[in-house]
Structure 1
Amino acid sequence: MSQDKTEDPQKKSDEILKVDKPWQEGMARSITFILTEDCQLRCKYCYLCGKNNVTKMTFETAKEGIDYVLGHPEIYKEESVIWEFIGGEPFLEIELMDQICDYIKERLFVLKHPWFNSYRFSMATNGLLYDDPRVQKFIEKNRTHLSIGISVDGTPEKHNMQRVFVDGTGSYDEVVKRVPLWLEQFEGAQTKSTIGHSDLPLVKDSVLHLWNLGIKNVPMNCIFEDVWEDGDDDIFQDQLIQLADEILDRELFKLGYNTTLFERHIGFEQTDNQNWCGAGKMVSIDTKGVFHPCTRFAQYSLGHKPEINTGDAEKGVDQNRLRPFLALNRTVQSPQECIDCEVASGCAWCQGNNYDCADTETIYQRATYICKMHKARVRANNYLWNKLDKLVPPAENDDRVRRLKLRKGLQSLFVLMDSAAPSFCYYKTREMERKIMDDETLKKVAFYALTENLSLNLILGENGLTEAQKEILKWNDYVIYRSGSAKFPTDDKTINVFDFESDTWDDSIGPTEMFILRISKDSLTELPAWLEAHSLAADKITVFVKEMETMTEAEFGPYKAVLDRLAAWLPEREEEKPFELSLLTDRLQLEKPNHCDAGVKHVTIGPDGNFYVCPGFYYREKNKDFLIADIDTVLKTHELPIKNSQLYKLDHAPICENCDAWQCRRCVWLNKETTLEVNTPSRQQCVCAHLERNASRDLIEPLFIQDMVSIPEIEYLDPFEELMKKNQPFIEKGKVDEC
């Protein structure tokens, strides 16, 4: 493979490994001629194998089709056209192809058709006749309007496994010796390689081999049919991970090598409702002159269903036959699993295969045999792009970066590196045999995070990261939660956690963007004075009140007094330097709830290598319901089997779902400790959150943000009371079932 680094090393991230866009951005009308069903090969994955291989098109049939298309501009309105020729093997009928192309050019000129200056001839060939003098003469005559793809599957082993002659022998040697001439004549030429079950272990070597042949653009895809077996997705992922490592280690991303196996846009929630396949928007004319919405709907392409045709040149196009195709969208043909899929973007389908595999004769049933293969590809893409973005920082407007910020579901992973690490929020630790995460487990965590697009929150004990651990994590995005009493230095990746009662304040900690302050409910009256003394050390201080769950009714009043005092002080502090105090300013900045979301947006992995809903449940003695799985199982199954996962979502929390104390952490650990249900907060958590909400409301005028923030006045402190009021009429009318 050429190592001549003539490509621009500053190529933008969204241009790296990107196969050239189709001509006219894919907006040209496609007219396909099935010249013959004959072929010299019997490719094992080809849906045409075993069909009639004698039938071929006549020139008169082709002329009739051309005349109809050019004579109906009201149907074929596109500004450009691609005239495609397929088989079988189209070059077996090179004289006919030449005649047809001459006739097309003549008619476009005579009719002064808009396509005269905007057309291309395109064909995909097995390459065996590429150096035939007749083919070369045709190429020379049409060079400026011609694109040709030769199918080379990869290494000799992979190619010969699938692309064989009638006698079963491989065709690699005969095809590849014609590749240099092809590349000389068509700069940037593409091959199309197909992946099946049996050749999966050869994917990585095949892409590298094709690049080494000089074929820099390599579209490659898994076949859509039902051929995949258990474990194939793991093999596919491993092959792509190995390929990604080759690309990174050898800096091939700087040299202009491209493959569709890696694309920045895949693996996100699908936001549009477009049909993936273009069937119905193209025209395929078979050997008898019958029109089809795509070649895959011609009878020789189908294994289980009758053909679908849309007319012919004599009778015209039956627009009613096209209506189902043009009305198709993603949702109406997809099962619910696909509609809800969080990594759906880039998952492809073939309408003809859908039809051939459907339970009835319909195009409105999507085949999903490649589901696991797509997800494996997504994980490998995440692995590559997350690493590559460290080497070539993406642009601010990069679409992948934008979509990462908007995605739903799991987004980060808390990594409890040391069981002796102090708490950083509400949960309590406990005395137990000390356990420190070993480097092998950390490697697995780092790999999992890269493949799942997860940032890491490292919860450390008294020691910082070792050099070996830093090397393991060099590709990951992470922050460190560090105890205020820890001795290792801080940096811009560090969040200091200061315990008011047990840590001695060290002025060397600051200044920092943010630190966390954990303070006992019994020390709250000291908080205002402490903040006045130390708040300049940070742009933001996030406060967690320890033992909040034990507050009595008599303690709510003093807490309100503390909040009122802080609300009176904060505007004065703002005059010195912008400052945020979570208890008061978080609610002012929110337009929707900003809860902890453990079990939804993040989970935890403990030093024992097991996943938990949150760090607090690692320390809980009865934690079996909150132990999700071990890292090896998750890497093998690609699933996080959270028990009753719906209970961690806001729409399954009846007290919380309509509450507007959006700054409330809605701590599921506190919920379980106090109410025995993860979705139900205690009175203490609710009242404290509403005292903070109301104190935030009192800040709106002093901070002059009336035009930006509106928090309505309410008469309650516990939303549970409001919920009971709403339910009371049903109780009084006897509509609540008796036990």
Structure 2
Amino acid sequence: MIPAVENYNGLDTTFQVTEDCNLRCKYCYEVDKKPGDLPFEYAQKFIDIILTDDDPINVRGTELEWILQQGLILDFIGGDALMVPELVDKILHYFQYQAVKMKHRWAYRWRASISSNGTLFEDPKVRDFMMKYKENLSIGVSVDGCPEIHDKNRIHKDGRGTMKDIQKWWDWYLEWHGIDNVATKATCNKDTIPYLAKSIKFLHEEMRLKHVNINFIFEDMHLTQDDLDLLDKEMEKSIEYILEHRTDLYVSMFDKGFGIGGPLKDPDKGWCGSGAMPCLSINGKIYPCFRFSPNTMHSRKLDFYVGDVWNGLNHKERFEIVRQQTRKKISPEKCLTCEVESACAWCIGGAFAEKGEFYRQTNICEVHKLQSKWSRRYWEEYDKLEGTKSFDESGKVIL
């Protein structure tokens, strides 16, 4: 398997530029969609806060202090951020102007990132915006796999599938991004299981993707044993295909790290970057990451914010509260001794959105166990074919 696309390191800031979306994807965790865009003056104030606060995420004196010395990522999310390209353009222009004027270390060390559903490239304003920022902009398009499953889950408001809309401008998108650097995000739910292997093949052969980031949703899918048995077979077929195309295909579901083995690697850490990724919501409040923003909460009464554009980051300590929700602290006993625990992901914000408390979701255990099983099998077979060594004498993966 080829290496994953390298991530750009630094402070990740998120702007929720709109709550609106032109699609109604069935598994979307934004449970409370409402028309409404981010006021530009809120974005200006947020940028001013980030540029003038010496420690916006409360990491000075910790092992995360390096984040502040790297670049800045400006991540734009919706809904779909490409519904408001002119607003995103204004925000980026303001950031550049302010950073250069201040001679800030991030003035020439920044990147912008957008996740899109891929149906909006036909708008000339969107394409003009993309061309303007081509050197500093990354746009990832969500494609869930073959049309049978993509068009079942990623749909227009009237229920129509969206695959044809994406394919219409796909060649233009690949040329704009550069085919070697394009990485899609494919989301799986229970309906995906019978199509998993077919979807990976479709994304590689029909959509010409070399990097496929694919994962199951964290919400409870209510899987039966029959579902898990079928998933087991689909994962087996998937790794057979990936092995055949190992020189030009990366699939994140079978990354070497998921076959790691051994419980509780870094027990005093969490899984993701939540707690160090300030997110501005359209309401003017700032959250520890996007999954704490109001339209992802199962109740809008849940409001765990770290500041706002009027008072700055006046609750910075909440960044640290999120970071303190470590594997060791919030894992139930069965996780602490599980042989695949260190390869098991969870979403701290998604869990908080459901119950208003910090806990580790365990409804995804069986899926992760299968993922770890077949990741390990993939790398064992890869070693036989390539004469490499992916595991040490104790059976743990060599990363």
Q: TM-score, normalised by structure 1?
A: 0.50
2:354 is aligned with 1:369: no
Matched with 1:59 is 40
2:257 is aligned with 1:265: yes
8 Å CA contact 1:18–1:263 kept in 2: the answer is no
User: Which of the numbers 283, 306, 309 marks the counterpart of 2:305?
Assistant: 309
Matched with 1:559 is none
Note the C-alpha offset of 1:402: 5.4
Residues 402 and 307 (structure 1), Cα distance of their counterparts in 2 relative to 1, 3 Å cut? farther
2:51 is aligned with 1:70: yes
8 Å CA contact 2:13–2:75 kept in 1: the answer is yes
Note the C-alpha offset of 1:109: 0.7
CA distance in 2, matches of 1:402, 1:34: 47
Residues 394 and 174 (structure 1), Cα distance of their counterparts in 2 relative to 1, 3 Å cut? same
Matched with 2:129 is 138
Note the C-alpha offset of 1:357: 3.4
Note the C-alpha offset of 1:330: 1.0
Matched with 1:325 is 322
Residues 403 and 220 (structure 1), Cα distance of their counterparts in 2 relative to 1, 3 Å cut? farther
CA distance in 2, matches of 1:382, 1:405: 10
Matched residue SS, 1:206: helix
Note the C-alpha offset of 1:266: 1.8
Residues 127 and 312 (structure 1), Cα distance of their counterparts in 2 relative to 1, 3 Å cut? same
8 Å CA contact 1:236–1:377 kept in 2: the answer is no
Note the C-alpha offset of 1:206: 0.7
Matched residue SS, 2:191: coil
Letter in 1 for 2:85: I
2:179 is aligned with 1:204: no
2:13 is aligned with 1:31: yes
2:354 is aligned with 1:357: yes
The correspondence of residues 699-718 of structure 1 with structure 2, limited to 5 A, is none
2:173 is aligned with 1:173: no
Matched with 1:563 is none
8 Å CA contact 2:257–2:397 kept in 1: the answer is no
Note the C-alpha offset of 1:42: 0.3
CA distance in 1, matches of 2:372, 2:318: 36
CA distance in 2, matches of 1:81, 1:68: 14
8 Å CA contact 1:197–1:227 kept in 2: the answer is yes
CA distance in 2, matches of 1:39, 1:78: 35
CA distance in 2, matches of 1:182, 1:78: 32
User: Which of the numbers 285, 293, 305 marks the counterpart of 2:280?
Assistant: 285
8 Å CA contact 2:3–2:250 kept in 1: the answer is yes
8 Å CA contact 1:265–1:346 kept in 2: the answer is yes
Note the C-alpha offset of 1:41: 0.5
1:477-509, Cα deviation, whole Å (9 max, x unpaired)? xxxxxxxxxxxxxxxxxxxxxxxxxxxxxxxxx
Residues 134 and 403 (structure 1), Cα distance of their counterparts in 2 relative to 1, 3 Å cut? farther
CA distance in 1, matches of 2:8, 2:393: 27
CA distance in 2, matches of 1:223, 1:346: 16
Matched with 2:61 is none
CA distance in 2, matches of 1:237, 1:182: 34
Q: Larger radius of gyration, structure 1 or 2?
A: 1
8 Å CA contact 1:17–1:263 kept in 2: the answer is no
Note the C-alpha offset of 1:403: 5.4
2:211 is aligned with 1:217: yes
Matched with 1:295 is 290
1:21-69, Cα deviation, whole Å (9 max, x unpaired)? 3113xxx1111011111111000000124x2421211111110111111
CA distance in 2, matches of 1:241, 1:17: 19
Matched with 2:63 is none
Matched residue SS, 2:258: coil
2:85 is aligned with 1:94: yes
Letter in 1 for 2:215: N
Letter in 1 for 2:256: R
Residues 321 and 246 (structure 1), Cα distance of their counterparts in 2 relative to 1, 3 Å cut? closer
1:391-426, Cα deviation, whole Å (9 max, x unpaired)? 11224xx4x33551699xxxxxxxxxxxxxxxxxxx
Matched with 1:227 is 221
CA distance in 2, matches of 1:403, 1:293: 38
Matched with 2:3 is 18
Note the C-alpha offset of 1:78: 3.7
Once superposed, which parts of structure 1, at least 4 consecutive aligned residues long, lie more than 6 Å away?
A: none
Letter in 2 for 1:71: T
CA RMSD of aligned residues (A): 1.7
CA distance in 2, matches of 1:403, 1:131: 54
Letter in 1 for 2:332: P
User: Which of the numbers 145, 169, 172 marks the counterpart of 1:154?
Assistant: 145
The correspondence of residues 658-677 of structure 1 with structure 2, limited to 5 A, is none
1:533-576, Cα deviation, whole Å (9 max, x unpaired)? xxxxxxxxxxxxxxxxxxxxxxxxxxxxxxxxxxxxxxxxxxxx
8 Å CA contact 1:234–1:376 kept in 2: the answer is no
Q: TM-score, normalised by structure 2?
A: 0.91
1:548-605, Cα deviation, whole Å (9 max, x unpaired)? xxxxxxxxxxxxxxxxxxxxxxxxxxxxxxxxxxxxxxxxxxxxxxxxxxxxxxxxxx
8 Å CA contact 1:266–1:344 kept in 2: the answer is no
Matched residue SS, 2:304: coil
CA distance in 2, matches of 1:30, 1:247: 32
CA distance in 1, matches of 2:393, 2:292: 38
Matched with 2:71 is 80
The correspondence of residues 629-644 of structure 1 with structure 2, limited to 5 A, is none
Identical-pair percentage: 32
Letter in 2 for 1:39: C
Residues 336 and 98 (structure 1), Cα distance of their counterparts in 2 relative to 1, 3 Å cut? same
- Out of 266-275 and 221-230, give the one that drifted further: 266-275
Matched residue SS, 1:194: strand
CA distance in 2, matches of 1:218, 1:331: 31
Note the C-alpha offset of 1:240: 1.2
Note the C-alpha offset of 1:385: 1.6
8 Å CA contact 1:35–1:90 kept in 2: the answer is yes
For structure 2, the residue ranges without an aligned partner over 5 or more in a row are 58-67
Matched residue SS, 1:124: strand
CA distance in 2, matches of 1:154, 1:312: 39
CA distance in 1, matches of 2:55, 2:304: 23
8 Å CA contact 1:127–1:150 kept in 2: the answer is yes
Matched with 1:247 is 242
8 Å CA contact 1:42–1:166 kept in 2: the answer is yes
Residues 171 and 401 (structure 1), Cα distance of their counterparts in 2 relative to 1, 3 Å cut? same
CA distance in 2, matches of 1:405, 1:138: 46
Residues paired across the two proteins, number = 379
Letter in 2 for 1:32: T
Letter in 1 for 2:321: P
8 Å CA contact 1:292–1:309 kept in 2: the answer is yes
CA distance in 2, matches of 1:31, 1:405: 35
Note the C-alpha offset of 1:136: 1.6
The correspondence of residues 506-525 of structure 1 with structure 2, limited to 5 A, is none
CA distance in 2, matches of 1:176, 1:151: 12
Matched with 1:195 is 188
8 Å CA contact 1:297–1:308 kept in 2: the answer is yes
